Amino acid sequence: MKGGTVQINWHDTKPVLTLDFHPQSGILATGGADYDIKLWQVTSEQEQKKAPTASYQNSLSYHTSAVNVLRFSPSGEQLASGSDGGELMIWKLHSTEAGQTWKMYKTLSFHRKDVLDLQWSTDGAFLISGSVDNSCIIWDTNKGVAWDPLGHYAASLSSDRTCRIYMNKPQNKTKAFDKMNFVCQHVIAKAEQQLPDDSKLTKNHLFHDETLPSFFRRLAWSPDGSFLLVPAGSYKFTPTSDSVNTAYIFSRKDLSRPALQLPGASKPIVAVRFCPVVFRLRGSNSAGFFKLPYRLIFAVATLNSLYIYDTESVPPIAILAGLHYAAITDIAWSSNAKYLALSSQDGYCTLIEFENDELGIPVLPDSLNNSVSKSIPEAKNDIEENKKPMAQKLENTMNTTTAHDFVATVGRKTDTEENAGKQASPNSTSISASNKPAKRRITPMAID
């Protein structure tokens, strides 16, 4: 793995608020506070340990305010972008004699305030948007009607400290189609805990409120749809203890409460994203939390660092810290898992390149289809089996340092996240290593 902050003029020194990779061409699209969407060609450097570079290709200029989020459709034929003031636009890829070009296709007008997050359905027919106006809208990009991006559920996370799970319960059939009817199935807000004297139960909030120093709370589903990963968590191990920053993992089998949490980050977690590629098991760790027939990899971004996890290991497989002077705003994986990109309020982006098979060997589509049908119940059973032991283990392992723990730091240690008075060098990187001690152990735990 190699990479670092690419110090070029991404958006006229204005904050870079979002980014995404085109699923076929690998073009990187970024959106910023300069009101523009810019397209970049990411190129791997031949020299060993040298970070990949990005070269400017084109700009898409139509927004009249800061672009907060953009996402390519799965087919790569469309690009959705949301900005301040409720602007939501669909761009379409057109073929010309000179090549391919993006043109503004349509504007979706309904949100009254800033659009902060978007997600396409797996078939690219529908789009869900979340806004500061306290609404989520699911669009049929051709007809203007709503649909769940995963076929059954939609999930939202808000500064009101709630995560809401919606389920589609179709009403009476018409000649053409069922009338869609989305109902809030779960509102996850607080967790019950017993006071030390066993006198009574108390409830503590599970998520940060509006004082979180970021507009973004970007949650994500796993590629197989079996798990939902939710950022901006704040959890107390006991009613009287201080809160720790965390992300929660929900099993699709029970979306009413978190199944696992990833505690230990010094700063709040603002964005999460799964790698789109599914990998073969390595068989290196039988103590993992998920008995999946394959490995899923996901990235978790705090305000100033990045953790990369897989479902076969307990600790992160890599940590990157000290990359930016200001808050991280978004995460993107390339469709082939070769690149991982971060955007930041400091006006720069970080590009990480993985060597061939460094993350693992991809699962072939046919093998994946056969495995997915078995994955959800097995993962659920594994979580249930590990709940109590891991809840007991966590208290003893949170601050331990062991030789096999995972962090090698170049230029800056990860525990300097806590030093808010110092600025980080935008070139320092922390990566996975088996022979260096960790300053902080970050271990997932199961919630009783």
pLDDT computed for residue 399 by the predictor = 29
CB atoms within 10 A of CB 336: 14
CA distances from 355 to 114, 383, 428 (A): 38, 32, 20
**Are 103 and 124 within 8 A, CB to CB?**
no
Q: Residue with structure tokens 């300097």?
A: 416
Of the candidates 307, 331, 72, the one whose C-alpha atom is nearest the C-alpha of residue 217 is 331
CA angle, 354 as apex, 122 and 409 as ends, to 5°?
120
How far apart CA 117 and CA 20 sit, in angstroms, is: 12
**Are 415 and 440 within 8 A, CB to CB?**
yes
Tokens matching residue 432: 């996975």
How far apart CA 115 and CA 18 sit, in angstroms, is: 12
pLDDT digits 0-9 by tens, 13-60: 999 999 999 999 999 999 999 999 999 999 998 776 788 999 999 999
How far apart CA 428 and CA 51 sit, in angstroms, is: 12
For residue 62, the one-letter residue type is: Y
pLDDT computed for residue 20 by the predictor = 98
How far apart CA 139 and CA 120 sit, in angstroms, is: 9
Beta strand segments in 322-442, E: 328-333, 339-344, 349-353, 406-410, 429-433
DSSP string, 278-308: -B------TT-S---SSB-EEEEEESSEEEE
- Determine the straight-line distance between the first and last CA of the chain, rounded to whole angstroms: 37
**Are 296 and 289 within 8 A, CB to CB?**
no
pLDDT computed for residue 283 by the predictor = 81
Reported as half-sphere exposure (CB side, CA atoms, 13 A), residue 443 has a value of: 23
CA angle, 444 as apex, 440 and 448 as ends, to 5°?
130
> Does residue 377 sit in helix, strand or coil?
helix
How far apart CA 109 and CA 107 sit, in angstroms, is: 6
How far apart CA 231 and CA 265 sit, in angstroms, is: 11
How far apart CA 301 and CA 248 sit, in angstroms, is: 13
Tokens matching residue 163: 């995560």
Q: Residue with structure tokens 């006198």?
A: 199
Tokens matching residue 145: 């009607």
Residues with Cβ within 8 Å of residue 255, at least 6 apart in sequence = 153, 155, 165, 185, 186, 228
pLDDT per residue as tens, the chain (448 positions): 899 999 999 999 999 999 999 999 999 999 999 999 999 999 998 776 788 999 999 999 999 999 999 999 999 999 999 999 999 999 999 988 878 899 999 998 889 999 999 999 888 888 889 999 988 888 876 543 334 445 788 888 998 999 999 888 877 655 555 666 778 999 999 988 776 666 678 889 999 998 888 889 999 999 888 899 999 999 988 877 888 999 999 998 899 999 999 876 889 999 999 999 999 998 865 666 788 899 999 999 999 999 999 999 889 999 999 889 999 999 999 999 999 999 999 999 999 999 999 999 999 876 666 666 555 544 444 444 444 333 323 333 222 222 222 232 222 333 333 333 334 444 444 444 334 434 343 444 444 4
Residues with Cβ within 8 Å of residue 32, at least 6 apart in sequence = 10, 11, 12, 14, 15, 16, 17, 38, 66, 67, 347
**Are 34 and 12 within 8 A, CB to CB?**
yes
Tokens matching residue 160: 């009101």
pLDDT computed for residue 256 by the predictor = 94
**Are 271 and 331 within 8 A, CB to CB?**
yes
Tokens matching residue 69: 């989020």
Helices and strands (DSSP H and E) totals, the chain: 1, 31
| Burial class (CB within 10 angstroms; exposed 0-12, middle 13-18, buried 19+) of 103 | exposed
pLDDT computed for residue 232 by the predictor = 94
pLDDT computed for residue 276 by the predictor = 94
pLDDT computed for residue 416 by the predictor = 31
